Chain A
């Protein structure tokens, strides 16, 4: 099966940089995804890493180390609107399903 671990809460100030870590255990690996969810709203896709290294998309970057079964989401120049929950997720390996298994989520609180 699959399992993911991420911190439950992170707090940072506006303008700062914050890193949200995710470690995973999976019988087969097909990449690590990150989703953002504002206050019970629809989760939205942020990034996907299939290979080791850093992927940058604007203020957000995502990193993956397959040998360490570890990844992180890096948010730079934090803004108040970045306050949200962030979920890492991995693909399920069994069959050709494409379903995503999500971590419990990290609640990011950005303070002025």
Chain B
């Protein structure tokens, strides 16, 4: 158990809908990262927050947004969903943004858009 909690584990929805994925980082970790993993693909970086502020953005679609709350949990919002958004979405956390810090990943949310 990495200490990172993601909910829900599975999400099935229809095209055009909006969903929210939730992540609670490990106790004490200030950085939260969101990654997308499509079938047989690598981990694509979406966005990072550090202590409540956006720190880095990857190839995140405009239909996607995220935030980190004062209690450090984070939410990833996906709207106007398309079939191609079906993927495994991982949240990871680390203590800070140091170059040698390792990331701790949650178990992911499997999103299926039908």
- Interface positions of A (Cβ within 8 A of B): 30-31, 33, 35, 40-45, 48, 50, 87, 91-92, 94-105
Contact = CB atoms under 8 A, between A and B. Distances in A.
B103 A104 contact: no
7 contacts: A44-B105, A45-B103, A95-B56, A98-B48, A99-B55, A104-B41, A105-B43
B37 to A, nearest CB: 8
Contacts of A43: 43, 90, 92, 103, 105
Interface of B: 2, 4, 31, 33, 35, 41-45, 48, 50, 55-56, 58, 88, 90, 92, 94, 96-108, 110
Contact of B99 (A31, A40, A101): A31
Contacts, number: 78
Given A42-B90, A105-B42, A97 B55 contact: yes
Please indicate which of the listed interface residues A30, A43, A94, A95 has the most CB atoms of chain B within 10 Å of its own CB. Answer: A43
Nearest to B98: A98
Nearest to B43: A102
B105 A42 contact: yes
A104 B37 CA distance: 10
Contact of A99 (B2, B33, B106, B107): B33
Nearest to A49: B100
Nearest to B47: A99
A95 B31 CA distance: 14
